[in-house]
Amino acid sequence: GLIDGHGKKWWDFVEGYKEGQARSKWQLKFDELNKDIVLPDDPKQMKRGFLRPPFIQTMFCKNVLIDGISIRNSPFWTVNPEFCENVKIHAVTINNPHSPNTDGINPESCKNVHISDCHISVGDDCITIKSGKDAPGRKMAVPAENYVITNCTMLSGHGGVVIGSEMSGDVRKIAISNCVFDGTDRGIRIKTARGRGGIVEEIRVSNIIMKNIRDQAIVLDMQYAKTTPEAVSERTPRFRNIHFSNITGQVNQAAYLNGIEEMPIENITFSDINMDAKTGFKIGYANKIEFHNVQVNTELGSVISTSNVNQLTIDNVKTYTPKANAAVIDLKNTSDAFIYNAFPSVGTSTYLNLSGDKTKGISLGNNNFKNATKGVSKTEEVVEKVNVISGDKG
């Protein structure tokens, strides 16, 4: 059956809100009845949203099944299980127009969640995984864990599958597979900020087709809110052990990985990736990053650009659209990198460029640079020689 949330009344209030406007009679009544209420950390939500309801919300439940329904025009988040165990969401169709915060499926701090065969087109993120925000989320300490998301199609939305930025209770053991994203702003997006704390780990994304992605295919962003470095503490978030494989797409940017100085992103792999993109992979503040069998045909710039990266492996990375003014691989202030099995396409100007006074420990092996004008170039800042292990030609 079809369920219509008639959300327009709520959307009009939210989108038309102006700071300082008169409060409605219902807001005044709420204030009168709840004089001691503690406002959320974003007081504007009580003014703009004012108890705007999720459409379907289950809390502290076990064995939840939502199967075979269609939903449209949700006032707020559409399907929102919280603190639930054994949740199955199957064959659900969600259609929300461009509208504020109308995410599709938002399980928060749940365990054993299976989302399959769903079709989602919404005004915010299609599927979002959360586990609490900042100190209250860390105090609750209820992780989002054991999620499977498979056989879904995502159309309009800010992100196909998103984790965070509220992930303070940890997010772990998540498998995303066999999905199509067509027309979302981003494909996979994992986001956090200093102050959140929490760990996102043990994530696998495989067998994904992305088309018409307006921004990045993949985002791992630990600076979702811009802040200054601070000492490592319970406020410090972590991203680690996240793996992407068998992904194809036509996107604006292949990927954006943005760690923080005091806690770099760690142990990320990209395997069997084939994309057409305006720009390639941009990576900063990360450790233990691996690329295996990656092809990105870019319109601008390098396939991979790194800054402040340690322990980097690049295996069989190529492009069929090399640029005269950009190396295929551009490493800045990057250490302990191994580049091997490269066979640049005809017309490549430079395959590997090295810069930055922190760049060191660069090794090459089994590369054939015969089609490149330069196999390797480096700036004067890079004083250490490149170590050629074996088999390089050209």
- For tokens 């365990």, the residue is 111
| CA atoms of 194 and 122, how far apart (whole Å) | 29
Non-local CB neighbours of 393 within 8 Å, separated by 6+ positions: 367, 368, 369, 370
Is residue 171 within 8 A of residue 131, CB to CB? The reply is yes
Q: Is 292 a catalytic residue?
A: no
List the one residue out of 284, 209, 218, 283 whose CA is nearest residue 252.
Answer: 218
- For tokens 């800042």, the residue is 381
Is residue 104 within 8 A of residue 45, CB to CB? The reply is no
Q: Is 119 a catalytic residue?
A: no
- For 281, what's the count of Cα atoms within 13 Å in the CB-facing half-sphere? 31
Partnered with residue 161 across adjacent β-strands are: 127, 188
In the set 12, 42, 117, 124, the catalytic residue is 124
Name the burial class of residue 291, with classes exposed (0-12), middle (13-18) and buried (19+) by CB atoms within 10 angstroms of its CB: buried
Question: Which DSSP category does 356 fall into?
Answer: S
SS3 state at 132: coil
How are the residues of the chain apportioned to helix, strand and coil, as percentages rounded to the nearest 5? Answer: 10, 55, 40
Partnered with residue 142 across adjacent β-strands are: none
Identity at 123, one-letter amino acid code: G
Non-local CB neighbours of 103 within 8 Å, separated by 6+ positions: 77, 78, 122, 124, 125, 126, 127, 128
Is residue 388 within 8 A of residue 375, CB to CB? The reply is no
Is residue 275 within 8 A of residue 248, CB to CB? The reply is yes
| CA atoms of 235 and 186, how far apart (whole Å) | 27
Count of C-beta atoms within a 10 Å radius of residue 34: 9
| CA atoms of 200 and 173, how far apart (whole Å) | 9
Report the length, in residues, of the chain: 394
In the set 6, 67, 114, 158, the catalytic residue is 158
Name the residues annotated as catalytic. 124, 158
